[in-house]
Amino acid sequence: MDINKFKDIFISEVEDNLQKINENLLLGEKLLKQKQAGDQVDEKKYREVFDSLMRSAHTLKSSSATMGYTKMAFLTHVLEDVFDNVRNGISKISVDTFEVIFESVDMLSESLRNIKDNNIESDLESYSLRIKELFGTKTDEMVKVKKVQDIKKDESIKKETDIPVYKIKSNETENISHVKVPIKRLDSLMDLSEELLAEKMRLNSILDSKIENSSFLNKEDILSSLKPAVEHLNLLISNLQYSVMQSRLVPAGQIFARFPRMIRDLANKSNKEIDLIITGEDIEMDRSIIDKLAEPLGHLLRNAVDHGIQEKGIIRLEAKHSKDHASIIIEDNGFGIRWKELVNAALKREIINAEKSNEYLSSIEMNPQSIWQPILEKDLLYNPRLSTNDSVTETSGRGVGTSVIKEFVDQIGGDIEVVSPVNNNGGTRFTLNLPLTLAIIKVLLVKINNSTFAIPFSSIIRSVYIDNSDIKSVAETDMAVIDGNDIPLISLKKILSISVENSNTQDKKRLAVLIEKGNETAGLIIDKLIGEEEIIVRPLPSVLKGAKGFSGSTILGDGDTILILDATSFL
């Protein structure tokens, strides 16, 4: 029997169980540290941790052996015996030996990536023997391996002090290839498919009967016969669209689960005590968003460890729904962003000159934070060359972290809110406001001359007519007075280099779509509103990839392809 056809199932199962092992190892290590500190620990809970670890290792052993990956099977067999001995009091475990087990789990993950990419497992024999030696287990060999006494001669085995910090590697941020869909959602899709098939048969039946009976062949009669079926078809298609979108949803916890281990290793490496508190793991987001979320979150959390927490503190990672979008919040209780240091670092790295530096520092001293912080965020905080670290470390110092976050948020049409300090004691809070889906969005269709464009509703406030008398020119920028506020106007004709045709200079009013991004508001000047539509987002044509101002394309009902404007990029 060809077992390769079960490879995808095997990979999904191993990923799940490795994640469970990491989670339980973190909990077990935490409980052990509490015991060593003299705190009261629930011994039943401590034993249950190793019960769960043994079950996961046993499952991995069985599935690996079935697939013929004998080295993975033997290492998980050794781990299974270790966990069994610890829970039964036969073997003792320490913080140092936890470190070795973590390293072995990392190697299992590395082996799984090798199986995915090259269909071959990694060499894990030395790690199996090292754990056998440390714990004295008598695990029977499932494959031919090196002798235990030769282990010290093997240069490939790392010392405990050489164990690397766990990172979110590029391989771990690859697109999600499998999505677990609840049976209820699949049943709903099946029911809708059956109804669509029935409606198709109904439409064909109506048309066939009209064609056969020529006396009824008149436009009004055909239209009145088809109208109920078409209305029902529209409803079914809307429901199908909703169900398909629901089936693409992935819980935020699928990404969040990667970070406790990363924070634990970073904290150990920097000699800090850090608790990571995660909430909102069940909040669901589109797979296309989740695919891209791991890297920017990793950068924010590393920054919180390296720049935020000094010796001991808490980092909170939370997901929640807010109206028509999802918010991801990362908050730490450290000192907060040292804005003056940010300005001085920018001057030192020649990102700004002395005059600009003095202007920023003066503004920090004299003005409310709501005035200067947005300016420093835009000009400095997300600059890829800027870091307040004097040297490059394993976690930060190159300055690219915040720029990666900004680029990610801009690409998907979201925004970032930064609060620092959070309170009188300091702290920093980053809030990423992200769309729930990138696949199907609601847009406003507009005309600019004879060209049609789509503007996503996520960035729109409203549309307004502006009297020419309410428009003034300030520093070569048109400003309009709207509701008592000065709003900059943006000419899409100029930005998109659209030639002006049939322009009526006698018009006393201009039509604008007001958009917002964070605290910034602007008006996009257009010629005509067409209406609202829900569209399927398609990738940009290759000739436009990387072009500023566009986020995708779509095909309208009449077959025309139009571009979707990245409206907030004009701010």
Give 403-439 pLDDT, tens digit per residue: 888 888 887 878 889 999 999 889 999 999 888 777 6
Could you tell me the CA-to-CA distances from 541 to 290, 564, 565 in Å, in that order? 24, 12, 14
Q: How far is CA 532 from the centre of its chain?
A: 28
Instruction: Report the alpha-carbon distance of residue 3 to residue 290 in Å, rounded.
Output: 31
Whether 488 and 522 have beta carbons less than 8 Å apart is answered as yes
- The 10 Å Cβ neighbour count of residue 21 is 25
Tell me what the pLDDT averaged over the chain comes to.
81
Task: For strands 312-322 and 273-279, give the pairing.
Answer: parallel
Mean pLDDT across the stretch 484-491?
89
| 268-277, 328-337, 543-552: the lowest-pLDDT one | 543-552
Q: Which structure tokens are listed for 406?
A: 């900004």
pLDDT band at 143 (very low <50, low <70, confident <90, very high): very low
Q: Say what the pLDDT of residue 263 is.
A: 93
Q: Say what the pLDDT of residue 156 is.
A: 42
Is the backbone of residue 68 left (phi > 0), alpha (psi -120 to 50) or beta? left
Q: Which residue has the tokens 């209780």?
A: 333
Q: Say what the pLDDT of residue 149 is.
A: 40
To the nearest 10°, report the CA torsion of 152, 157, 161, 165.
-170
Tens digits of residue pLDDT in 264-323? 999 998 899 999 999 999 988 888 788 788 889 998 999 899 888 988 999 999 999 876
Q: Which structure tokens are listed for 1?
A: 């029997």
How many CA atoms does the CB half-sphere of 25 hold within 13 Å?
A: 29
Q: Which structure tokens are listed for 322?
A: 């807010």
Instruction: Report the alpha-carbon distance of residue 21 to residue 232 in Å, rounded.
Output: 50
Mean pLDDT across the stretch 223-238?
77
Q: Say what the pLDDT of residue 550 is.
A: 86
Q: Which structure tokens are listed for 533?
A: 């539509």
- Nearest CA among 48, 70, 59, 77 for reference residue 18: 59
Fold topology of 3-164: Four Helix Bundle (Hemerythrin (Met), subunit A) (1.20.120)
| 22-26, 185-189, 249-253: the lowest-pLDDT one | 185-189
Instruction: Report the alpha-carbon distance of residue 145 to residue 466 in Å, rounded.
Output: 80
Task: Name 7's Cβ contacts closer than 8 Å, sequence gap at least 6.
Answer: 67, 115, 119
Q: Say what the pLDDT of residue 324 is.
A: 67
Whether 528 and 481 have beta carbons less than 8 Å apart is answered as no
Q: Say what the pLDDT of residue 428 is.
A: 93
Tens digits of residue pLDDT in 358-377? 999 999 999 888 888 988 88
Please give the angle made by the CA atoms of 438, 442 and 445, to the nearest 5 degrees.
Answer: 120
Mean pLDDT across the stretch 256-269?
91
Q: Say what the pLDDT of residue 214 is.
A: 54
Indicate whether 150 pLDDT > 50: no
Indicate whether 234 pLDDT > 90: no
| CATH code of domain 251-338+388-435 | 3.30.565.10
Instruction: Report the alpha-carbon distance of residue 307 to residue 338 in Å, rounded.
Output: 9
Q: Say what the pLDDT of residue 92 is.
A: 87
Mean pLDDT across the stretch 57-69?
90
Tens digits of residue pLDDT in 88-140? 888 888 988 999 999 999 999 999 999 988 889 999 999 999 999 888 888 76
Angle between helices 70-87 and 125-135 (to 10 degrees): 20
Instruction: Report the alpha-carbon distance of residue 182 to residue 191 in Å, rounded.
Output: 15
Residue 327: strand pairing partners: 320, 433
pLDDT band at 539 (very low <50, low <70, confident <90, very high): confident
Instruction: Report the alpha-carbon distance of residue 554 to residue 556 in Å, rounded.
Output: 6
Task: Please state the domain extents for the chain.
Answer: 3-164, 183-247, 251-338+388-435, 440-570
Instruction: Report the alpha-carbon distance of residue 492 to residue 524 in Å, rounded.
Output: 7
pTM of the model: 0.72
Domain 440-570 - what CATH class?
mainly beta
Q: What is the DSSP letter of 484?
A: T
